[in-house]
Amino acid sequence: MPEGKQLGGELTPVACHQCDLLQVLPDLPTGGKASCPRCGYTLATRPVDSIERSLALTIAALLVLVVANATPLMGLSAVGRHASTTIIGGAYQMWLEGQELTAAIVAFCAIIAPAGFLLCLLLVLLAVRRPPAPRWVGGMLRWAEYTRPWAMTEVMMLGIMVALIKIADLAKVDAGIGMFAVGVLMLLFPAILSSVDTEELWARVAWHEPGPKSGPATRRLPASNPMVGLEKTDAEKADPEGRPESTNSQTPSSRSRS
């Protein structure tokens, strides 16, 4: 049984990632969203049918990514000559022109990061279908988080269009299949991001350290900043310092830093 489901009836304590405010997550309805009352950061979302939907979208995006990279983005005809370029062809030409570092940045943002993100996410989604997923899934999920900001499909799409319009002044240009594939990819990426429930994925991953039996995270926390509609727990009254009972809290391993 996935741990995410076990959490269902419980109140999950979290600290806001952007202002560190301690609060308890309400039991979110499907399609619901919880925001931090202090800074407005989206703490959690509960998309409909998260895993299956994300999996379908990720597989689709990977296929489109292959098409986008294998077919020409755009072509150019002038004085009886025709030229076309692909994504990797663009980066390669930059490399040839002596801009190796720029070529590497373009290749990373246009191909490596999107492909890395999608592949990591695919492995994670496939693995978490039968929880608990093995520990390496956590590493994959972390890599997906690392590569996500660098996958710039939508920026590349706009870049292609601006380049197309600029060159159209000089010569006859035509859009290739690759450009439409990038356009589809541009739509698939936000769809994937909004269908993935990271919290649920993490809940299904096997713990790195065998944790105490008490279950995930601290159950009783000082709820002086409760989400709307939640009752204060009495833990705070019992302990003016606001420290949760240590028996209920997870103790992280203290192995030495490498």
Partner 1 sequence: MTTAPVTATKAGLLSCETCGLLSQPASTDESGYCPRCGGELEARRHRSIERTWALVIAAAICYIPANMLPVLGTTTLVSTEYDTIMGGVVFLFSSGSWPLALIVLIASVMVPLGKLVALSYLLITVRRGSVQRGTERTQLYRVVEFVGRWSMLDVFVDTFTVALVQLDPLMSVHPGAGVLFFAAVVVLTMIAASTFDPRLIWDASAEPAPSKENSPQQESNLG
Binding residues for partner 1 restricted to 76-135, rule: CB under 8 A = 76, 78-79, 81, 83-85, 89-94, 97-99, 101-103, 105-106, 109-110, 135
Does residue number 187 form part of the binding site for partner 1 (CB under 8 A)?
A: no
Please state the closest distance from residue 140 (CB atom) to partner 1, in A: 11
Total length of the chain:
258
Is residue 147 a contact partner of residue 178, using CB atoms and an 8 Å limit?
no
Q: Among the candidate windows 51-59, 116-124, 186-194, 218-226, which touches partner 1 by CB under 8 A?
A: 218-226
Q: Are 204 and 131 in contact (CB under 8 A)?
A: yes
Reported as type and span, the H/E element at residue 167 is helix 153-168
Q: Which is nearer to partner 1, 66 or 78 (CB)?
A: 78
**H or E element that contains 55:** helix 50-70
Nearest approach, Cβ of residue 66 and partner 1 (Å):
20
Closest distance of CB 220 from partner 1, Å: 12
Structure tokens that stand for 182 in this block: 């990038």
- Is residue 131 within 8 A of residue 150, CB to CB? The reply is no
Nearest distance from residue 224's CB to partner 1, in Å?
A: 5
Contact with partner 1 (CB under 8 A) among 6, 8, 15, 52: 15
9, 30, 228, 254: which one binds partner 1 (CB under 8 A): 254
Q: What angle do CA 197, 16, 237 make, to 5 degrees?
A: 120
Q: Which is nearer to partner 1, 94 or 123 (CB)?
A: 94
Site track 33-62 with partner 1 (rule: CB under 8 A), x = hit? -----xxxx---------------------
Q: Does 70 bind partner 1 (CB under 8 A)?
A: no
Least Cβ distance, residue 59 to partner 1 (angstroms): 24
Task: Give the three-state DSSP class for 235.
Answer: helix
Nearest to 7 by CA among 165, 217, 158: 217
Q: Which is nearer to partner 1, 129 or 172 (CB)?
A: 172
Residue 28 touching partner 1 (CB under 8 A): no
- How many residues lie near partner 1 (CB under 8 A)? 90
**Sign (positive/negative) of CA torsion 14, 19, 22, 26?**
negative
Instruction: Write out the binding residues for partner 1, residues 140-179 only, by CB under 8 A.
Output: 141-142, 145, 149-150, 152, 155-156, 158-163, 165-167, 169-171, 173
Does the footprint of partner 1 cover residue 214 (CB under 8 A)?
A: no
CB 121 within 8 A of CB 58: yes
DSSP string, 186-202: HHHHHHHHHH--HHHHH
CA-to-CA distance for 254 and 168, rounded, in angstroms?
Answer: 61
Stretch that binds partner 1, among 45-53, 59-67, 184-192, 246-254 (CB under 8 A): 246-254
Q: What is the dihedral of CA 95, 181, 114, 102, to 10 degrees?
A: 20
